[in-house]
Amino acid sequence: MVKLSSSAELSQFLTSVERRAYKHAIYAVRDDHAALDIVQDAMIKLAEKYGDKPAEELPMLFQRILQNTIRDYYRRQKVRSAWVSLFSGLQSRHDDEEFDPLDVLEDSENQSTPAAPEASLQQRQIIALIEDALGNLPARQREAFLLRYWEGLDTNETAAAMGCTEGSVKTHCSRAVHALSVSLKAKGVELP
Amino acid sequence: MITNLDPEKITRLLTLSTGQLDQSTLLALSSARQNALQRQPVRAPVFALSMAHGIHRLIPSPIRLWVVAGLLIATTVIGMGYWNHVQEQQIDETDLAILTDDMPIDVFVN
C-alpha cells in the first residue's frame, strides 16, 4: 500500500530542499527577491496540489514545479521587457549589466563579521567563481547538471523533471561538465 | 584537451555555499515553507464506519458527503411519513368515536 506524505514529512522535505532550491533559482534569475518568490511559489504549488503524494515522489515533483516556475518567470520577464521597450525605449541599462559574484563577495566581506581565515576566503572565492560559471551556462545545461549531480536525481527522473528525453539529459550534462571545466580552468581555479 | 572535472567536487562546494546564506534569506525561506504547509489540503474522513474502515478510506470525501446527506434526507422523510401516519390514525379513531357517540370524557373536559 502506498504511504501518503504527512504534514511533518512535507515539512521535513521542504526544509531539506529549500536552500538548494533558492540557489537553483538564484543561478537562473540572478535576483534575490525573484528567487525567493520562485521558491515560495514552488513550495505552495507542491503543498496545494501534491501535498498528499507519497514522500518518495516529492523530490521529483518539486524539481519539476521549480523548473516550471523559473520558466514562467522567464516568460513574464520577456513579455514585460517587450512592453517596456515598446512604450519607453528608454529602459535603464542596469538590467543588462553583467553580474559579478566578486561584487557580492566584497559586500559580504565588508559586513561586521570577523575576518575569515585565508582558507575560508579562498573557498568563498572559488564558490563564487563556480557560481558565476554555472550562471553563465545555458539554462538547460545548468538545469540538467544541478538536477543530476546536486539533487542526485537519476537520468530518468531528471528527464521527467525537465520534460525531455534521457538522451538529452546525458548530452546536457556532458556539455555542462565540459563547459565548467573550460570556464574554471580559464580562471585558474583548482578544485580542492 | 581539457580534462573533465569531477561534478561531485563542484556540488560539494555548492552545498557548502548553502550554509553561507544570510539570516534574512533563511527567515524568508522558513516563512515561505510555513506558508506552503498551511496550504496543504487536509484529508480528514467525514465519518468512520466502525465495521468497514477499509471501505470508507476507498471512497473519496465528496462521495461520503453525498452519502451522509442522503441518509439524513431519507431519515427525515421517513420520520415525517411515520408522524403523518400516526396523526391520521389518531384522527380516524376520533372520527370513529364521534360517529359511534363513544367519545371519552376528557374530550369534553378540555
Instruction: Return d(Cα A38, Cα A65) in angstroms, integer.
Output: 10
Asked whether residue B20 is assigned to any structural domain, the reply reads: no
Asked whether residue B89 is assigned to any structural domain, the reply reads: yes
- Read off the pLDDT of residues A26-46 as tens digits, 9 standing for 90 and up: 999 989 999 999 999 999 999
- Interface check for B27 against chain A (CB to CB < 8 A): the answer is no
- Asked if A124 and A105 touch (Cβ cutoff 8 Å), the reply is yes
Instruction: Return d(Cα B30, Cα A129) in angstroms, integer.
Output: 28
* CATH 1.10.1740 intervals, chain A: 1-89
Asked whether residue B13 is assigned to any structural domain, the reply reads: no
Quote the crossing angle between the two packed helices B23-38 and A32-50, to the nearest 10°: 20
Query: What percentage of chain B has pLDDT greater than the value 70?
Result: 72
| B11 contact residues in A (CB cutoff 8 A) | 149-150
Fold classification of A1-89 is Rna Polymerase Sigma Factor; Chain: A (1.10.1740)
Is residue B3 over pLDDT 70? no
Range of the domain at B105: 76-110
pLDDT for res A56: 87
The candidate with the shortest Cα–Cα distance to A36, out of B67, B102, B22, is B22
pLDDT for res B1: 45
pLDDT for res A111: 44
- Read off the pLDDT of residues A173-182 as tens digits, 9 standing for 90 and up: 999 999 999 9
| B22 contact residues in A (CB cutoff 8 A) | 108
Asked whether residue B81 is assigned to any structural domain, the reply reads: yes
Q: Which DSSP string do the residues of B66-82 spell out, in sequence order?
A: HHHHHHHHHHHHHHHHH
Asked whether residue B63 is assigned to any structural domain, the reply reads: no
pLDDT for res A64: 93
| A15 contact residues in B (CB cutoff 8 A) | 33
- Read off the pLDDT of residues A51-67 as tens digits, 9 standing for 90 and up: 888 888 899 999 999 99
How many structural domains does chain B have?
Answer: 1
b/e code A113-150 from CB counts within 10 Å (16+ = b): eeeeeeeeeebbebbbbbbbbbeebeebbbbbbbbbbb
| B9 contact residues in A (CB cutoff 8 A) | 191-192
Q: Which amino acid would we find at residue A16?
A: S
- Read off the pLDDT of residues B14-68 as tens digits, 9 standing for 90 and up: 999 999 899 999 999 999 999 999 988 876 555 555 545 555 555 566 788 888 8
β-bridge mates for residue A54, sequence order: A4
Across the interface, of A43, A48, A150, the residue whose CB is closest to B11 is A150
Phi-psi region of B104 (alpha: psi -120 to 50; beta: other; left: phi over 0): beta
Q: Kindly report the nearest CA distance between residue A87 and chain B, in angstroms.
A: 35
Instruction: Return d(Cα A67, Cα A53) in angstroms, integer.
Output: 19
The answer to whether the CB atoms of A192 and B9 lie below 8 A apart is: yes
**Which residues are CB-contacts of A181 (< 8 A; sequence separation ≥ 6)?**
B2, B3, B4, B5
Across the interface, of A10, A19, A182, the residue whose CB is closest to B18 is A19
Asked whether residue B80 is assigned to any structural domain, the reply reads: yes
CATH class of A99-192: mainly alpha
